[in-house]
Amino acid sequence: MFRICSLFSGSSGNSTFIRMVNKPVSLLIDAGMSGKRIQAAMSLIGEDCASIDAILLTHEHIDHMAGIGVLVRRYKVPLYLSRITWDALQRMPVGVVPDELVNVFEPGDDFCIGDVSVKSFSVSHDSADCVGYSIRSESGSVSFLTDIGEMTPDVMAEISGSSAIFLESNYDRNMLFEGPYPWPLKRRIDGSRGHLSNEDCAQTVGLLLESGTENFILSHLSAENNTPDIAYSTTVSHMSANGARPGKDYKLQIAPRHIPGDPWVI
């Protein structure tokens, strides 16, 4: 079983905690907030940064990497990231990351950290080499899929059957296209290398429920082009139209922007 919790979520910073229950394996997926704030968030949920065994980076955008350098240096935590993302990260304000703590892989690779296996997979996003992750143990798996411009059959195959998923629900299409963003930025967000809309998220949740996934944490909501209520109701409406009830047939949580969500044991 896993204890999972979003620490921060959205364009101001992303970091998610996952720990195996009863086994000494703790991971952070991304560290896109200052080291100090991630430490404080970990304390709030009763966890300790000193026990983190690895940080897995999805991509080099600032809202995913801002605290990486501090945490890696302070706690001597191994960093896992794709080879191309490592090249890109070194052009970001990350500071010194000791070579011996850097573990690079190719998207599609899997590797072990203690008793968990980690499967990486490519996702479409306008960074150097964005990946999603599926963390697997004998008792189940948790997937992480934020910053993705489009769902593809390959990605669906990687996340199908997950026990739980942190899934992007970035924007409401009406809010985006009627909002103040310049047209090129609207096209970028809505494009195949941008972000996932509430509607696309809802369809993905529906497919995942059919595959056996029952725990969903809607993540990386836009501050300008979405609200927690709209994201929640878009997915719940889609699911209700197919006869699935929140709290009964599946659990749904919105990852808060600035504070940790409710930790779940999956």
Q: For binding to Zn ion (CB under 5 A), which residues are involved?
A: 61, 63, 147
* Residues paired with residue 5 on neighbouring β-strands, in sequence order: 17
Distance separating alpha carbons of residues 132 and 175, to the nearest angstrom: 27
Q: Considering the complex, what minimum distance in angstroms separates the CB of residue 233 from Zn ion? A: 23
Contacts of 84 (CB under 8 A, 6+ apart): 128, 129
Name the H helices within 26-145: 35-44, 62-65, 68-75, 83-89
Using the minimum distance from each CB to Zn ion, give the nearer residue, 10 or 25. Answer: 10
Using the minimum distance from each CB to Zn ion, give the nearer residue, 126 or 214. Answer: 126
**CB-based burial, 44-53: b 16+ in 10 Å, e otherwise:** ebebebeebb
Q: Which residue reads 């690779």 in tokens?
A: 109
Q: Considering the complex, what minimum distance in angstroms separates the CB of residue 95 from Zn ion? A: 20
Q: Considering the complex, what minimum distance in angstroms separates the CB of residue 21 from Zn ion? A: 28
Using the minimum distance from each CB to Zn ion, give the nearer residue, 58 or 137. Answer: 58
Q: Considering the complex, what minimum distance in angstroms separates the CB of residue 188 from Zn ion? A: 11
The closest residue (CB) to Zn ion is 61
User: Phi first, then psi: what are they for 256, rounded to 5°?
Assistant: -65, 155
Using the minimum distance from each CB to Zn ion, give the nearer residue, 61 or 186. Answer: 61
Contacts of 40 (CB under 8 A, 6+ apart): none
Q: Considering the complex, what minimum distance in angstroms separates the CB of residue 32 from Zn ion? A: 7
Using the minimum distance from each CB to Zn ion, give the nearer residue, 3 or 37. Answer: 37
